[in-house]
Amino acid sequence: MNEINIEFNSTYISSNLIDELDYIIGEYAKPNATFIYSLNTFIEAFVLNTNFYLTDKEFKHMNLLSKSIFPNGRPILELLIKNKKVSIISGIGNNIGQVTGIIKTDFDNPISYQEKIDKFISEGLDTEVAREKYLKISSLDNDNINLKYLSIGKVEDGLIALESSDTPEQFYKSFLAATSNSNL
């Protein structure tokens, strides 16, 4: 497997942590006890690191669902992007998933399928459905977390919506294998 070269003073930041911070700081919900630890972790990382890494799968998932889950904006994600502190890495995590939808598309007209993707991104899923299915807020009671990621891919006669999942333990094993020579 190819190694990933990580810049100095960089760290991986979980999309789940960004989601949690955006959800509370964006005033979509009130903070719980574990939020203080999540916020402290982010502040320390923001001060000590010049760059944050997200996986390609997480970044695409965030793009697809941001309008659904966070209709009034994402303060933490916007802060990271505005300060050019986000880099994307691929090839990490579970890419096997379950097809959740098929959209018939005319590939002879490339504008049509791009418009369908753009429409999905701008309109998204129902907010409550998206939050229930894809937003996981940390709490003292959450022992077994299974994070779900939505992506859209191209198939022979259309587009498919694919849902994959990872436990944090599975993800970090994959991540550490790809970055074994880095202090990340």
What is the predicted pLDDT for the residue at 45? 93
When comparing pLDDT for 152 and 77, which is higher?
A: 77
What is the predicted pLDDT for the residue at 93? 64
The four Cα atoms 176, 148, 46, 38 give a dihedral, to 10 degrees, of: -110
For the chain, what are the domain ranges?
10-178
What is the predicted pLDDT for the residue at 140? 72
When comparing pLDDT for 45 and 125, which is higher?
A: 45
What is the predicted pLDDT for the residue at 28? 93
Long-range contacts of 165-169 (CB under 8 A, 24+ apart): 165/94, 165/97, 166/93, 166/94, 168/14, 168/16
pLDDT tens digit sequence for 13-44: 989 999 999 999 999 999 998 999 999 999 99
Average pLDDT over residues 83-106: 78
Q: Helix %, strand %, coil % for the chain, to 5?
A: 45, 20, 35
Looking at the chain, how many residues does it have?
184
pLDDT tens digit sequence for 130-142: 888 888 888 777 6
Q: For residue 113, what pLDDT band results from cuts at 50, 70 and 90?
A: low
